[in-house]
Structure formats: structure tokens, C-alpha cells
Amino acid sequence: MKHRWKYAVAAYAITISAAALAVEPDAAMLSNACAGCHGTYGGSAGPSMPSLAGHSKTAIVEAMKKFKSGERPSSIMGRLAKGYTDQQIELMGEYFSKQKIHFTNQKVDLAKAKRGAELQEEHCSRCHLDDGKEGKDDTPVMASQWLPYLQMQMELYQTGKRKMPERMAEKVKPLSPADIEALLHFYAGVNK
């Protein structure tokens, strides 16, 4: 009797690990399709592409939804996002959220970055947490993103093509173009 119980537990354990295995490669395999642009573990290799590593799952899922619906303008992602179900997007979001943040070590203007660090503390740190290495809720990782990518996204916001979150708009509005530029240099330059 005692033995049969043991076997049942062992069989149950095998069933669980098989189910877990069936999910894991799926998430990694799906995310492989993103590697050409976002890097194998979500670390972007190109200046017009964001890194995804370390974004919260919510940030990735929300961005994908906005690409899918067309609310967020894109060169590529709109068409791409339409090819995935909500469940697949969740899996990929989870996968990238578990990867270690990618540091790019790009050159930035140090004087601008220094000014940007002060502005970040005062204006942006409520959502772009810990020097932008973390994001609150659906806020993306900013630290070490490529400067050209950040500049492009900021321009989309400021020309009204990408909708800025209201609370963020309140913080951005009073800043001069030089302030904004300083902030983006700061984020791009965070490398540890």
C-alpha cells in the first residue's frame, strides 16, 4: 500500500515536469523569432531597435497590444504583432521579463547625461525607476536603450503620433528640447 502511494506521487511529479517542459521551450522558441532584431536574450544589436530584456511582462504585453491595434505607430511591429495570439504574447512577455538587462556601452555626451540624471530624479523617476533600469507597471526599461531609438520614440510622442501617457505628458511638457535631449543621453548612457 505504502509503495503504491509512492509510485503515484512519482508519476504525478513526472506529469507536472512534462507539462512545465512543454511550456518552457514554447516561450523560448516563440521568442527566437524576435532575436534577429531584439537579440537572442532580448539585447538589441541595432540602434533603431529597443532591447526587451528586463522589461516587465506588462510593458511587453501592453506594447504588443498597442502595435496590434495600431494605436502605437511602428515601422515593423504592427504587422508582426498581428501574427501572435494574446496567449503567445503573454509567453514572450514572460520570457523577456526574466532576461538580464542588456547594457550597450554606447558613447553619449557626458555633460548632457549629467544634467539628465538630475532631471530624471525630479521628473521621470516615479515611473522610470532606478535610473530607468526598471519600469513601474507598463513602463518600459529605458536604461541603455540606443540613443537613436529613444530620440525616435520621443519625436513620435512630441509630434502626437504616439500617445504619451497623461501623467508622463505633464512631466514632459515643461521641459525644453535641451532638457529632453539631456534625459535621453542619460538613459542611453546607463551601463551598470
Dig out the grid coordinates for 186 from the structure. Answer: 542619460
Between 177 and 192, name the residue whose CB sits nearer to ligand HEC.
177
Dig out the grid coordinates for 149 from the structure. Answer: 531609438
Locus of grid cell 526599461: 141
Residues found near ligand HEC in the complex (CB under 6 A): 33-34, 36-38, 48-50, 52, 60, 63-64, 66, 74-77, 80, 92, 123-124, 126-128, 138-140, 150, 153-154, 162, 165, 167-168, 171-172, 175, 183
Rg (CA), the chain: 20
Between 17 and 87, name the residue whose CB sits nearer to ligand HEC.
87
Burial 136-152 (b: 16+ CB within 10 A, else e): eebbbbbbbbbbebbbe
The minimum distance between CB 30 and ligand HEC, in angstroms, equals 7
Dig out the grid coordinates for 87 from the structure. Answer: 496567449
**C-alpha span between 123 and 186 (Å, rounded):** 13
The minimum distance between CB 26 and ligand HEC, in angstroms, equals 13
The minimum distance between CB 37 and ligand HEC, in angstroms, equals 3
Dig out the grid coordinates for 70 from the structure. Answer: 495600431
The minimum distance between CB 10 and ligand HEC, in angstroms, equals 37
Between 13 and 114, name the residue whose CB sits nearer to ligand HEC.
114
> Of 125, 184, 119, 103, which is closest to residue 149 (Cα–Cα)?
184
By the 8 A CB rule, do 73 and 164 touch? no
Between 50 and 189, name the residue whose CB sits nearer to ligand HEC.
50
Between 15 and 191, name the residue whose CB sits nearer to ligand HEC.
191
The minimum distance between CB 103 and ligand HEC, in angstroms, equals 15
